[in-house]
Structure 1
């Protein structure tokens, strides 16, 4: 075993390497801890020796100095607890060493990219003169690809290049997956001797085995911590909830000592706010105390070859190709399992392509219909069964227009979540979360919200946006007095268009029907139908036109006074006329003094 150390103003680290025939073992970490251990196997002893000498040269080039053989373990604090509480400088040191270990002794590096539209992962495992890449959506198995190179140095160079590309695109590294997890630093021995009765109880409890899990969730983080006591040792696993986390082991002279240290760590965690969420009992072991086990790192098992490309989600397109949908678009995969940058021309005439193209069109139509239906519920203030919202929430095309809309019932708030057993999760104007269990709810039109400005401010404070234009929808208050006795509004008259066809197209693009020379907006309010009609011209569509007045009629097409028009119908009619009028031709006025 050869030992090297690097000590400067920012860190104090060690690195050891032991050559054993056709393999070597590397141990590294902060001085004073057991560190981490990894083993690497090679085809021949000569290859192992060459890689051994190369790593030593790299370390000495980085400032490490050889000081002798392996020093005895001198752990001053329990590494499992220290990993959670270490300061930022120590974490940076460990990250540096972990990155080096991935290259030196094999391992997997994982990167993730999460934004409002997607959540993806990308992993790379360098193994000798090749590497394996796995990628896909977070939570899925993803797809796997392998690549071989003439030399290990070339494989490492290409891997570094891919990692640089991914981080340049916004991917962030979230942790490696070493093939062998070593024992970490030992916890300090408690002062004083324990009586035989206490030791016997602790040994019996330790021998029973089992995993206890604790979680800590707040606004800034969501972490877990697990401990499994097994005889005179225990294993700790910790990390972010939803990940595999990191694992550390610790051995003690007796089972009683292991149980005592485990209890101390559990008390420390619960004191910091961690809450126990369950346990997973392990198989019951023998009641006899086990001898102390020295920390050791086992050689990793041979890595299995990557399985053949999965056919799940892809259709056979012939000649070794397969077609599927990736990120909402049709993608092609070759016989090796690689997803191509574009779909080859000859595949676009296959039955599989036409089938997928039809499916995407159907999904696009479905998404539009979902948005239109939700907007219709709001425009008509229709009663919506809570059970319907619970049923459709799982569909992203339904959830998107419903996300963050105002829902009213016994309570009113911004819709943030839907759970079958709890109801609708709302955030009210006080910023509190309430669960609405009313059987019937409504999505009120913004003109009906008395505290509209306050709701807009709350949505902004939450940093959220709405999939349906509700809170920030343009609204118009119905006038009072003499103006309310008129039967039309001329505010949007005399809007010039070069062609009537242009005015008709603008109205239709905004989602309004054109009939009888008018753009039409139909609203049901309180069970009564009202239709806003904005004149945009009739006749030859190739002739120029000018807009006229905005008026309202009832279901029998009888003219209504503004005072007879409901607040929603008036606001939506004004919104329609304003949007079309904004598309008119604007004449450039020449300066009179020019």
Structure 2
């Protein structure tokens, strides 16, 4: 039983399942309601599905319960995506036993399906297609052949670690794949062979008419604001770093200009660029580039 149906199964009155797989709950003598994905839907006593849910039906006790279930499902889906993305950002090994347990849940399956995965970060990845009841992980390799990964764990590699990333991207495009988590479409930035100091200045001088605009750009790009910095986290070889990109500390109504990008460790100490791993480097540069792209230009 999936996560969503497990919640609905605990509700009353008992539900009725139709040939579409929807579980209908009686809301009144003349209407049933159900969740179709994340949409609340309604049918009348003759079984005809209505274009909208009448307010008096939505406001019934069962209507309120289903809306609460929808919120739980949406929160669960976000948690699945966030968790799988953390595996990618941390280059973490994921036990097959765990994957076997979560695969039956549609939210987990959507988050995992079609990701490039591998049992060894140095090996060529395959695209995840299925996980069977014994815990075997089935993938399609770059030769378009199905195979089972022979290991007790797998990795969801960050794209910067995929050696032949262009080939994998091309193969995924040929198959028409669409990943829930932006792995293959994610912007990547390779770390230069030689770097010095502890700051990157390539994205300095991005002007915003108001600091609130820079903060909004940070939030819509998926990053957090901590004091005067836009921030993001990533790990390399088990070492977690936080990238910090200066966006300003003045009044939110005042203009601002972006500054240095740097990385700090768990003790808030600045890390030399030479010690920043490839994932943390790529994610930090990606953050700065996305925010910098929203700066004021002559065209605006």
**TM-score, L = length of structure 2:** 0.87
Per the TM alignment, residue 452 of structure 1 is displaced from its structure 2 partner at its CA by 1.4
Distance 2:86 2:20 in 1: 39
> 1:513 corresponds to which residue?
224
Report 1 or 2 for greater relative contact order, CA contacts < 8 Å, sequence distance ≥ 6: 2
What is the number of equivalent residue pairs in this alignment? 281
Whether 1:526 and 2:244 are equivalent positions in the alignment is no
Q: Which has the higher strand share?
A: 1
1:32-87, Cα deviation, whole Å (9 max, x unpaired): xxxxxxxxxxxxxxxxxxxxxxxxxxxxxxxxxxxxxxxxxxxxxxxxxxxxxxxx
Shift of 1:327: 4.8
Q: Unpaired segments of 5 or more residues in structure 2?
A: 1-16
Structure 2 CA distance, aligned partners of 1:314 and 1:545? 54
Secondary structure class of the residue paired with 1:511? coil
What SS does the aligned partner of 1:540 have? coil
Offset, 1:460 = 2.1
Shift of 1:140: 6.0
* Structure 1 position 478 matched with structure 2 position 191: yes
**Corresponding residue SS for 1:318:** coil
Distance 2:25 2:217 in 1: 41
Mapped partners of 1:365, 1:486: distance in 2: 41
- Is 2:206–2:258's contact at 8 Å kept on the other side of the alignment? yes
Query: Aligned-pair RMSD on alpha carbons?
Result: 2.1
Q: Is the CA contact (8 Å cut-off) linking 2:100 and 2:134 kept in structure 1?
A: no
* Cα distance in 2 for residues equivalent to 1:468 and 1:518: 25
CA distance in 2, matches of 1:348, 1:464: 37
Cα distance in 1 for partners of 2:174, 2:20 equals 36
CA distance in 2, matches of 1:434, 1:518: 45
SS of 2:40 mapped into structure 1:
strand
Shift of 1:365: 0.9
Q: 1:461 to 1:314 in 2, by over 3 A?
A: closer
Match of 2:77 among 367, 386, 408: 367
1:353 aligns with 2:63: yes
CA distance in 1, matches of 2:178, 2:41: 31
**Map of 2:180 onto structure 1:** 467
The corresponding residue for 1:392 is: 102
For the 8 Å contact 2:115–2:179, the answer to whether it is kept is: yes
Moved over 6 A (4+): none
Unmatched runs of 5 consecutive residues or more in structure 1: 1-138, 144-311, 590-594
Q: Give the deviation of 1:577 after TM superposition.
A: 0.7
For the pair shown, the structure with the greater C-alpha radius of gyration is 1
TM-score (norm 1): 0.45
| Alpha-carbon distance in 1 for matches of 2:108, 2:173 | 23
8 A contact 1:521–1:532 mirrored in 2: yes
